[in-house]
């Protein structure tokens, strides 16, 4: 079944599970989902049924910057297998964005063009070119913004703490190392000193 444009990551038909992945490249071993860029948090990479770990077994590359700007969600296009212990029987689970799908020729051309470029420095637009991405209503829900109340409470507490002046003791009275002076200087002793005019 073909995926459709899903800018809110809500359509169940765009959830792909168990898609076989074939590594392309030798210097940088890459997996490219067949249904195009995906929502980053939805990705699960397996090798022979074993779930691989992000950052130790694979790295997500080729961010789809246009999609991120339009949807407000993290999206990427490729997976870089960095653990040499995994070489075959890859499967991918992911939620496809449903737009910006590449052809095999586009992927091959980009990988050939960027064969010596660190994959983390590449973007999905380098694969597909500048493809139109329609404006998206991000559907930001102020009523259910997680963490808003906690954030405002924390900011108010910080403001209250800043407004409170700490008690500052007299540095002379509480300092055991402060010099002591004869009484002549304390009890109107200065009146006993006659100023001399120059």
Residue 89 domain flag: yes
Burial of residue 46 (CB within 10 Å: 0-12, 13-18, 19+) is middle
pLDDT of residue 106: 95
Q: Residue 185: is its pLDDT beyond 90? A: no
Residue 129 domain flag: yes
Residue 189 domain flag: no
Write the pLDDT tens digit of every residue in 121-131: 999 999 999 77
Instruction: Report residue 7's pLDDT band, with 50, 70 and 90 as the boundaries.
Output: very high
Number of independent structural domains in the chain: 1
Structure tokens at 189: 């002793």
Instruction: Report residue 55's pLDDT band, with 50, 70 and 90 as the boundaries.
Output: very high
The CA distance from 178 to 162, in Å, is 31
Look at the pTM and tell me if it is higher than 0.85. no
Residue 132 domain flag: yes
Write the pLDDT tens digit of every residue in 143-156: 666 677 788 889 99
Residue 157 domain flag: no
Q: What is the mean pLDDT of residues 13-27?
A: 96
Torsion of CA 148, 150, 153, 154, to 10 degrees: -110
Residue 194 domain flag: no
pLDDT of residue 132: 85
Structure tokens at 171: 């540095």
Residue 188 domain flag: no
Residue 158 domain flag: no
The CA distance from 183 to 189, in Å, is 7
Residue 27's domain comprises 12-139
- Residues in a beta bridge with 30: 24, 80
Structure tokens at 65: 């910057």
Q: What is the mean pLDDT of residues 150-172?
A: 84
Give the mean pLDDT of the chain: 87
Q: Write a three-state SS string for the chain.
A: CCCCCCCCCCCHHHEEEEEEECCECCCCEEECCCCCCEEHHHCEEEECCEECCECCCEEEEEECHHHHHHHCCCEEEEEEECCCCCCCCEEEEEEECCCCCCCHHHHHHHHHHCCCCCHHHCCCHHHHCCCCCCCCCCCCCHHHCCCHHHHHHHHHHHHHHHHCCCCCCCCCCCCCCCCCCCHHHCCCHHHHCCCCCC
């Amino acid at each position: 079944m073909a995926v459709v444009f899903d800018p809110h990551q809500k359509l169940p038909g765009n959830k792909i599970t168990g898609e076989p992945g074939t590594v392309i490249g030798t210097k940088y071993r890459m997996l490219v989902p067949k249904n195009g860029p995906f929502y980053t948090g939805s990705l699960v990479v397996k090798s022979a049924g074993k779930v691989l770990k992000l950052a130790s077994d694979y790295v997500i590359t080729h961010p789809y910057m246009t999609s991120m700007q339009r949807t407000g969600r993290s999206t990427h296009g490729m997976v870089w297998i960095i653990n040499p212990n995994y070489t075959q029987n890859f499967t991918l689970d992911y939620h496809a964005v449903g737009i910006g799908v590449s052809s095999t020729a586009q992927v091959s051309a980009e990988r050939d063009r960027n064969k010596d470029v660190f994959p983390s420095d590449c973007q999905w637009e380098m694969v597909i070119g500048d493809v139109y991405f329609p404006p998206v209503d991000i559907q930001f829900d102020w009523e259910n913004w997680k963490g808003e109340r906690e954030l405002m409470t924390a900011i108010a507490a910080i403001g209250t703490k800043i407004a409170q002046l700490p008690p500052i003791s007299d540095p002379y009275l509480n300092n055991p190392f402060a010099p002591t002076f004869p009484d002549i200087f304390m009890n109107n002793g200065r009146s006993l000193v006659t100023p001399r005019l120059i």
